[in-house]
Chains A and B, each alone.
Chain A
Amino acid sequence: MPADSWHPDGWRLLLVGAPALALVALFVAPTLIMALATLQLPDDLGGLAPAVVRDEAGLHLALTLENYQRVLGDFVYLQVFLRSLGYALVVTGACALLAYPVALTIAAAPAKWRDLLLLLVVLPFWSNFLVRIYAWVLLLGPEGAVARLVNWTVAFTGAGPVVLMYTPAAVLLGLVYVHLPFMILPLYANLRRHDPAWLDAARDLGARPLTGFFNVTLPMSLPGLVAGAVLVFIPALGAFAVPDILGGAKGSMIGNLISDQFLAARDWPFGSTLALLLTLAVAGLAGLGAAAAARLPGNRHDA
């Protein structure tokens, strides 16, 4: 690469090469190692049996495809994947529903308030992840405010007390809570660029506010929605801590299954296989999201 007017030759090596090397070592290499691990056998204590074995016959590879056979041949693992996909879908939908009012309000707010409102959305995200989950452990637990409120209302129908903790509903609630800011921000970024003239035109043509929203705002905001959906769906799919703490084995997702293979089942190769498949699913979804975003009508307008 020719040196540009800024830097002599060596600088590109430093500016691009050094961080690239670090990221290859800390990101690419571990992923490749995980891929290799899917072909290995487990060791008795956990861990991996060596891939290359020396015995009387000399050196040979101790690799196997049985992990893949197990994953693809046994329906129960697909079930976990499907359930996780389902949860992620529900969470994404719920986040979209909650995000629109906020994003629309911030976009419509006078300039001096916008930064503050935006900061208020971002702040909970930057608070400790476990603290946010813990808040719901308290609220949904037997002594918690939400549990008591729900049971107080339920008592009117004569039904017995409802347990909120350790249910799929608790997991979904926790996931929505944790990922909501990720939906609000891209949506807002898109809505901010909408021209008020569009809605005025719709109103002049006789449309009611709700029609205006569905026919004008929503379609034009699709790129933001897709971006937010990808930012919520993928982490929700790979969620581990929320289902672990709020789900108590009833709402367990693929992340928990993977963790179990490493920490309970002493089957690291199988855990790696599940993890690799999740990685491929994530890559596929991200690609899909990017392709969808590129095609959307809203993206062709540059405001």
Chain B
Amino acid sequence: MRRSRTLFGAALAVYAFLYVPLVLVAVGSFNAARLGSSWTGFTLDWYRRLFADERMLAAAGNSLVIALAATAISVVLGTLAGLGLARYRSRALGFLVLTPMAVPDILTGVSLLLFFVLIHLTLGMASVVLAHVSFCISFVALVVRATMANLDPHLVEAARDLGASPGAAYRRIVVPVIAPGIVAGGLLAFTLSIDDFVITFFTAGVGTTTLPLQIYSMIKVSITPEVNAVSTLLMLVTLSLVVLAARLAPSALRSGE
């Protein structure tokens, strides 16, 4: 395809559109001024205040615990699903895995709220973890399935012909191939869980405020550069996790999503 100046310029403009707002948020976290976009001086004050803010720290702690638990569960189930999809091409499972990803968050949040109330599960850490698992399984499954494409099926057949048990065949041949996919999937699930807002909004209970929920209430009630600070830190965390995941399973991320 031919290159063109206007095209390149337009693309650059779109990239700028994507990044400039985020950069401004990061820059604003160091601005000594409380309101407004006039720069009055460099300061780390907002970060200091952030780490002294008990509610923020509690929210960060909750987010971390929930993300770890949700990731652990969805990695196990997601890997099984990924393997199941790759080997058995079950259409039912395919439907179950793909559809939650297509449904808008508000529907997932509301239906899970109704579900938890019906089964008398008190809204709390458990309900949020289960809610996060519901959407994380699909991502892990798809990533693992994608890495399975790198596996030469003949290898496993050969191993079985040579007398290896299914367990050994998996351990020696399949797992090393999908291991990067599992880790990448886990990292992505972790990121999704940390970042989730809408679904958590409807399924959180007493004392289970997560970081996004805390940020939301700060955006609505009182905006200070402390929000910029926590946003910047959050961006850095997810950035590193995603770059790491991209290194581990580039093929999985490239499959159009």
Contacts and interface: CB of A to CB of B under 8 A. Distances in A.
Given A15-B80, A120-B15, 8 more contacts: A19-B84, A20-B93, A27-B100, A105-B11, A126-B195, A134-B215, A196-B1, A238-B105
Contacts of A115: 250
A19 B2 contact: no
Contacts of A275: 106-107, 110-111
Nearest to B100: A27
A101 B11 contact: yes
Q: Which of A14, A98, A128 has the most CB of B within 10 A?
A: A128
Interface of A: 1, 4-8, 11-12, 14-16, 18-20, 22-24, 26-31, 33-34, 37, 47-48, 98-99, 101-102, 104-108, 115, 118-124, 126-139, 141, 143-145, 148, 177, 180-181, 185-186, 189, 194, 196, 199, 209, 227, 234-235, 237-241, 245, 255, 258-259, 262, 268, 271-272, 275, 278-279, 282, 286
B11 A104 contact: yes
Given A6-B169, A31-B111, A138 B17 contact: no
A11 B87 CA distance: 11
B97 A19 contact: yes
Given A105-B8, A148-B37, A137 B223 contact: yes
Contact of B253 (A8, A122, A259): A122
Nearest to A17: B84
A19 B78 contact: yes
Given A132-B22, A134-B231, A259-B106, A177 B97 contact: no
A37 B22 contact: no
A245 B219 contact: yes
Given A11-B166, A127-B22, A128-B231, A239 B104 contact: yes
Q: Which of A141, A227, A241 has the most CB of B within 10 A?
A: A241
16 contacts: A6-B166, A15-B80, A16-B93, A19-B137, A30-B114, A30-B115, A126-B238, A127-B234, A128-B238, A129-B195, A180-B14, A258-B110, A271-B110, A272-B110, A272-B114, A279-B107
A268 B115 CA distance: 12
A230 B22 CA distance: 26
Interface in B208-250: 212, 215-216, 219-220, 223, 227-228, 231, 234-235, 238-239, 241-243, 246, 250
B117 A47 contact: yes
A234 B117 contact: no
Given A16-B90, A19-B77, A130-B212, A48 B104 contact: no
Nearest to A146: B21
Nearest to B165: A8
Nearest to A22: B77
A6 B4 contact: no
Contact of B195 (A128, A255, A258): A128
